[in-house]
């Protein structure tokens, strides 16, 4: 699966369709989410590689005021050994994981968040719309675990994805939304289904349990297009 499409789907596909833009306005109130990422220990245990954190700034009018909202998305991926008869002997980066943080904005009696009004199914549909070769078919269950001192309840969807522009494989899409501190967090993972690669769900759970989220968290900010097209 293409991590660049995944980032675009998670950031632009979810936030971009909900937030407006008020260009050219100098006097506005700013709100910023705290970034989130997975601890180095948890990422290493799960075998996922940190690919940096992107910052997104959107502008909106809330409660009669112009506001600027800064969100962050941190992404990870993993090279997975897939059936050699289809994909060859080289591992394919077919597991992707992202954590998006957006600020909860309140101005007077008006509230705004670019994501929190979306259902998990709406997020899944928007990711599918922005992720070429990905088809989300139906909800297939869920699970819950503890992370950041909170209960994270996943919704899991089944579907298919085209890998290496040629082969179709069964995949799983996990989505969880959770308020934490003053932010709204969305966690999304796409990875091969258990009948293709057993045990990948446990790796995703390790990543979620290893989440860190606070104002001074150190992240590697990546500018759009700054990593040679790897975004």
Per-residue confidence (pLDDT) for residue 14, from 0 to 100: 58
Angle at 14 between CA 213 and CA 50, to 5 degrees: 45
Q: Is residue 23 part of a domain?
A: no
**Residue 6 is assigned to a structural domain of this protein:** no
* 3-state class (DSSP) for residue 36: strand
Q: Let me know if residue 147 belongs to a domain.
A: yes
- Considering its fold, how many domains does the chain have in total? 1
Per-residue pLDDT at 157: 96
Q: Is residue 155 part of a domain?
A: yes
Taking 70 as the pLDDT cut, the residues of the chain under it are 1-27, 83-93, 164, 224-231
Print the SS3 string covering 11-54. Answer: HHHHHHCCCCCCCCCCCCEEEECCCEEECHHHHHHHCCEEEEEE
Instruction: Please state the pTM of the whole predicted model.
Output: 0.85
pLDDT of residue 6: 55
Query: Tokens in use for 75?
Result: 């992404």
- 24 strand-pairing partners: none
The angle that helices 3-10 and 120-130 make with each other, rounded to 10 degrees, is: 130
State residue 19's pLDDT score.
39
> Quick one: 229 exposed, middle or buried, by C-beta within 10 A (0-12, 13-18, 19+)?
exposed
- Residue 19 within any structural domain of the chain: no
CB 34 within 8 A of CB 63: no
- Quick one: pLDDT at residue 138? 93
Does residue 75 sit within a domain?
yes
**What integer pLDDT is reported at residue 140 of this predicted model?**
95
Q: Is residue 2 part of a domain?
A: no
Domain containing 116 equals 29-213
The verdict on residue 226 lying in a domain is no
pLDDT at 114: 74
CATH code, domain with 66: 3.40.1000
Strands 134-147 vs 150-163: parallel, antiparallel or unpaired: antiparallel
């Amino acid at each position: 699966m293409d991590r660049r499409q995944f980032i675009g789907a998670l950031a632009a596909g979810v936030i971009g369709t909900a937030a407006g833009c008020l260009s050219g306005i100098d006097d506005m109130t700013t709100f910023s989410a705290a970034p989130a990422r997975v601890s180095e220990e948890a990422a290493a245990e799960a075998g996922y590689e940190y690919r940096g954190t992107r910052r997104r700034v959107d502008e909106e009018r809330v409660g009669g005021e112009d506001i600027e909202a800064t969100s962050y998305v941190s992404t990870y991926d993993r090279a997975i050994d897939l059936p050699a008869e289809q994909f060859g002997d080289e591992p394919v980066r077919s597991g992707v994981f992202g954590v998006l943080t957006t600020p909860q904005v309140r101005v007077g009696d008006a509230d705004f968040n670019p994501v929190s009004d979306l259902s998990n199914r709406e997020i899944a549909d928007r990711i599918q719309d922005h992720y070429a070769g990905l088809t989300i078919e139906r909800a297939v269950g869920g699970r819950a675990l503890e992370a950041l001192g909170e209960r994270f309840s996943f919704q899991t969807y089944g579907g298919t994805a085209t890998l290496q522009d040629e082969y179709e494989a069964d995949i799983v899409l996990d989505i969880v939304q959770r308020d934490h501190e003053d932010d709204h967090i969305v966690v999304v993972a796409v990875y091969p289904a258990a009948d293709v690669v057993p045990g990948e769900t446990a790796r995703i759970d390790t990543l979620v349990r290893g989440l860190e989220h606070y104002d001074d968290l150190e992240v590697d900010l990546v500018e759009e297009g700054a990593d040679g097209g790897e975004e």
